[in-house]
Amino acid sequence: MILVTGGAGYIGSHICAELARVGRDFVILDNLSNSSMDAVDRLQQLVGRAVPFHAGDVRDTALLDRIFTEHAVSSVIHLAGLKSVAESVANPIDYFDNNVAGTVRLLAAMRRADCKTLVFSSSATVYGAAATMPVTEDAPCMAVSPYGRTKLMVEEMLSDLHASDPAWRIARLRYFNPAGAHESGLIGESPRGTPNNLMPYLAQVASGERSALTVFGGDYPTPDGTGVRDYIHVVDLAEGHVAALDFLADNPQDVVLNLGTGSGTSVLEMIAAFAKASARSVPFEIAARRPGDVATCFADVGRARRILGWTATRDLDQMCRDAWRWQLVRKG
């Protein structure tokens, strides 16, 4: 049995859908702080059966112990946490508590249950402003926000944990820019309030919910002056998690892996792709750079390909089509 913390969220729900597709049993723990029962209902509709779900917090030790015992959990995919860079700057304590203290509680519960296999949601933000692209897992890490620091702190804790007891099997997955939605149109990203990320913002502009996209910076040293990122379809990302679990089953290691496509897309290219997929116009205006943003970030995906035998297969057009389908479903 696989415990998926944060399984009601954007990436977690797609991982659960993929686990169900390949016939793996899972149980979700989510406090619904950034998701809803509606997402769980839709996931159940997608997988065609009831999904074991615990509404609760990853910091709740008693609840964790109960889940590990009740469900005989043998591995964990740990996504639960807060993810807004801006919010983490304004309220770092919440981020250290949810993301770092939450992981400490989880690891302690895992040890009590003798469950020592963990896949952790890290982020390409740990590379900070890396000097060379594509960025490899061996590049130096540097946190540029409290959010990034929580990811780095957890990664360091996991490395210490594995060094203390090599029976731990750990995959630290550094996601690049997850985007798109499940092609069924049943699950996707449901940001609360104003989206921080490009793709959900674009979807809301194309649907007329927002008037225009603000492009943060037109003067970067990139081919068209706008920021370049490595957007990866969320279903490809989900498949990467299953591949990581399979790898850990045969290899008791602490492994760090980039999950991206290996190619970069600028904001203007993304606007054009979304306009094409939605057949809508996407008004935008170029404004100042967003503080903390880097010009370019895309992954070296060689290690994931080599050791997991995994590679992203869905392209930008599919990401945009699937995000657009989800936007139309979500808004009914």
**31 binds, options ligand UDP, ligand NAD, none, Cβ within 5 to 8 A by partner type:** ligand NAD
**With binding defined as CB under 6 A, does residue 258 bind ligand NAD?**
no
Alpha carbon separation from 196 to 29, 221, 315 (Å, rounded): 25, 23, 22
Q: Is 143 in the site for ligand NAD (CB under 6 A)?
A: no
Candidate segments 53-61, 207-215, 265-273, 275-283, binder of ligand NAD by CB under 6 A: 53-61
Q: Which of 171, 122, 169, 156 lies closest to 299, judged by CA?
A: 122
How many other CB atoms sit within 10 Å of the CB of residue 157?
A: 15
Please choose, out of 32-40, 66-74, 195-203, 307-315, the segment that lies near ligand UDP by the rule CB under 6 A. Answer: 195-203
- Active-site residue 147, yes or no? yes
Answer yes or no: are the C-beta atoms of 13 and 39 closer than 8 Å: yes
Q: For residue 317, count other CB atoms closer than 10 A to its CB.
A: 12
CB of 253 to ligand NAD, least distance (A): 21
Q: Is 177 in the site for ligand UDP (CB under 6 A)?
A: yes
Strand segments, DSSP code E, in 61-202 are 75-78, 117-123, 169-175, 177-179
Six-digit token pair at 110?
A: 């895992």
Residues 280 and 316: beta-carbon distance below 8 Å: no
Smallest gap from residue 60 Cβ to ligand NAD (A): 8
One of 10, 95, 147, 201 is an active-site residue; which one?
Answer: 147
**Interface residues toward ligand UDP, by CB under 6 A:** 177, 196-198, 201, 213-216, 227, 229, 267, 290, 293
Give me the residues that bind ligand NAD (CB under 6 A), please: 5-6, 8-12, 30-35, 57-59, 79-83, 98, 102, 121, 123, 175, 178
Question: Known catalytic residues?
Answer: 147
